Amino acid sequence: MPLINGVHHIAIICSDYERSKQFYTQVLGFTVLAEVYRAERQSYKLDLAIDGHYAIELFSFPQPPARLSRPEAAGLRHLAFEVDDIQVAIAHLNMHGITTEPIRIDEYTGRQFTFFSDPDGLPLELYERG
């Protein structure tokens, strides 16, 4: 029996709560499961789902330190989201003023993918379903 059953959620700390909330809900299409303001921490906790499945905890904290993400640094490299049609997804992001890198082809699967960033520069990937 495996020790781990699956990924439960991804936690993200943002520097501008309203900007990141808008990005993850209005641009990427996550739905809000719960939103709580924790006064003792001066922090919001936003639980987000995709296709009805709990996926992301978005946190705000007063003045969080910047995290190095580029050039490639040790630690979490990026978050990847599956899409049905990468061209449609890229057009949607571009319509919202979000720049994507040129499409690449996965040399092992032959599937298309691209990278873009969230409002805090967190590297995100779109990976086309096969």
Residue 118 has pLDDT above 80, yes or no: yes
* Domain match, 9 and 45 both: yes
Residue 55 and residue 83 in one domain: no
Residue 16 lies in domain: 1-63
Tell which of 14, 36, 63 closes a domain: 63
- Average pLDDT on 3-30 reads 92
**Judgement on whether residues 18 and 48 belong to the same structural domain of the protein:** yes
Amino acid 8 reads H
Structure tokens belonging to residue 32: 């809000």
pLDDT of amino acid 74? 74
The answer to whether residue 126 is domain-embedded is: yes
What is the domain-level CATH number for residue 32?
3.10.180.10
Q: How far apart are CA 19 and CA 17, in angstroms?
A: 6
Domain boundary, last residue among 40, 63, 86: 63
- Which tens digit of pLDDT belongs to each residue from 47-106? 999 999 999 999 998 888 887 766 667 777 889 999 999 999 999 999 999 999 999 999
Looking at the domain assignment, is residue 112 inside a domain?
A: yes
Any domain includes 71: no
Whether residue 117 is contained in a domain is answered as yes
Q: Are residues 99 and 55 in the same domain?
A: no
Closest-CA residue to 14 (of 54, 51, 48, 45): 45
Q: Do both 56 and 103 map to the same domain?
A: no
